[in-house]
Amino acid sequence: MYLPTVVHVSRAGIHLALQTRHAHGNSPVFDDPSDHEEWGSPEFYGKLLVSLCLVLAGGVFAGLTLGLMGLDELHLRVLATSSDDPVEKANAEKVRRLLHNKKHWVLVVLLLSNVVVNESLPIFLDDAIGGGFWAIGISTTLIVIFGEIIPQAVCARYGLSIGAKCVWFVWLLMWIFAPIAWPIAKLLDHVLGEDEEHTYKKAELKSFLQLHKSGAEPLRDDEISILNGVLSLNEKVVLDIMTPIDDVSVISYDKILDNETVEQLIASGYSRFPVHEPGRERSFIGLLLIKRLIAYDPDDSLPVSAFPLSVLPEAKASINCFQALDYFQTGRAHLLLITEHPGKPYGALGVITLEDIIEEMINEEIVDETDLYTDNHTRQAVKRRGNAAVMRGIIEQGRRIAKDSRATSSDSDARNLSLSRGPTLEPTAHAAGETTRLLTIVESATYGRTNGTQNGNNAKDATIVEDGKDGHDAKPEPNGKGKDGKLKDGQDSAAGNAPPS
């Protein structure tokens, strides 16, 4: 981007060595001509001062060339918008405005200024001390040390701050040399193309993140893993992470919910079950949320058809994880039925839940209190971590409420009766081959009956079909939150044996 130091030094030396100081011929290279200013005279000090100023000016131009041309416009934009240091933020914005679409113009101006200075130096230095060996040695030393090495070393480290302070000076030079520099810069833009912001590919960003494991603000391994997972999310399709339909627990629309069936549903640890038409296990109607059974008395022995069903949206296996995540964010459902023919009563391949997407984002398996397996496919048993690094700052403590000695026996009996109403929530032995998955529960506030396809205003992807069919569809609460504003930690019915249909 700039003329090498050796070119400047050689040119200055040749000029000094070949200066003519005699009226009728050239002096030899190593002669010490007497035709120069008298030592100690005002003219001597004046020309020596001009020579030193030219050396310093050449250093400024060389340093600015390296400092400004070495700044990446994308990096400047990042600093100008997100830097915590207000001074650095202002400096980045100044330099960015200078270089934006004018990088070749700045380059030509700085190089042209440097050439003018280095060409002028031998003239004044020769008049001050004469030509010959001393002129060559002094000129070379001054240019190398003070005109190249020191300025470039300083500007390479503090290029942003120095460049910001010299912005007005560079602008002035750009207008002074505009008749020459601007046409050359436009020619470079036409031949080489305008300088564009350098952006990083995803693979480069992942490698870039690995380099930030150390430094002033190092990234943790978990942070890097999550960022890598998010960067890869758009490249993954739901077919790769879904739970196969054979591993999903389902229930028939006419199944009677007696005591035994309800106990099996609750003990499974799942939060919802896909409901299929009687006798057609691949034709699904909707989702039965276990929360619907909280106030239900199993002695009533009602069929599944007596309960409102939540919508069971369908999508093709080719959609990517971001499309599924976009749909989940609408709050309409947190479980998708993956099928070859969305909207048709056949072709079901599997299901995918919000938890599956989150696991891909964080590159970790989420394990619930009732999970027996870490993954649906590998059937790897859950190993719960409890080491100090994970548990730091978290206390697990069981508390008991002391019995009131004044309580009557009838009060105690009433409490025992109320507490023994439902089955225990302790995890029980699961059927062979069963796996569990976490899923945020979408609780419905109002219920209604729909037929055919629902077209929600908030649906983000046309490939997702919400088909209520003959069941009762329920509108989920926004964001899948309950009354306390927190996400409900339930599980979907992925994997395991279903209750008898």
**Coil, strand or helix: which one is 300?**
helix
CATH for the stretch 236-384+430-492: 3.10.580.10
User: What angle in degrees, to the nearest 10, is found between the helix axes of 5-17 and 133-141?
Assistant: 160
Q: Give me the residue spans of the domains in the chain.
A: 5-192, 202-232, 236-384+430-492
Beta-carbon contacts of 455 under 8 Å, excluding residues fewer than 6 positions away, are: 466
Q: What are the distances in angstroms from CA 167 to CA 89, 160, 317, 349? A: 15, 10, 56, 63
Tens-place pLDDT, residues 245-286: 988 889 999 999 999 999 988 888 788 899 999 988 889 999
Structural contact between residues 229 and 260, judged by C-beta atoms closer than 8 angstroms: no
Confidence of residue 93 (pLDDT cuts 50, 70, 90): very high
Distance, CA of 391 to CA of 411 (rounded, Å): 39
- Separation between Cα atoms, residue 82 and residue 20, nearest integer Å: 59
Lowest mean pLDDT among 7-16, 45-54, 265-274: 7-16
| Tokens coding 146 | 């003070």
- Give the distance between the most distant pair of CA atoms in the chain: 133
Query: pLDDT by residue (tens digit) across 371-425?
Result: 655 565 566 665 666 555 555 666 666 566 665 555 444 554 444 433 333 333 3
Q: Is the pLDDT of residue 47 over 90?
A: no
Q: Note the pLDDT of residue 42.
A: 77
pLDDT tens across 485-500, in order?
333 444 455 444 344 4
| Token representation of residue 143 | 């240019």
Q: How many whole angstroms separate alpha carbon 120 and alpha carbon 15? A: 10
Q: How does DSSP assign 146-192, residue by residue? A: IIIIHHHHHHHHHHHHHHHHTHHHHHHHHHHSHHHHHHHHHHHHHHH
pTM of the model: 0.58
CB neighbour class for 402 (10 Å; exposed up to 12, middle 13-18, buried from 19): exposed
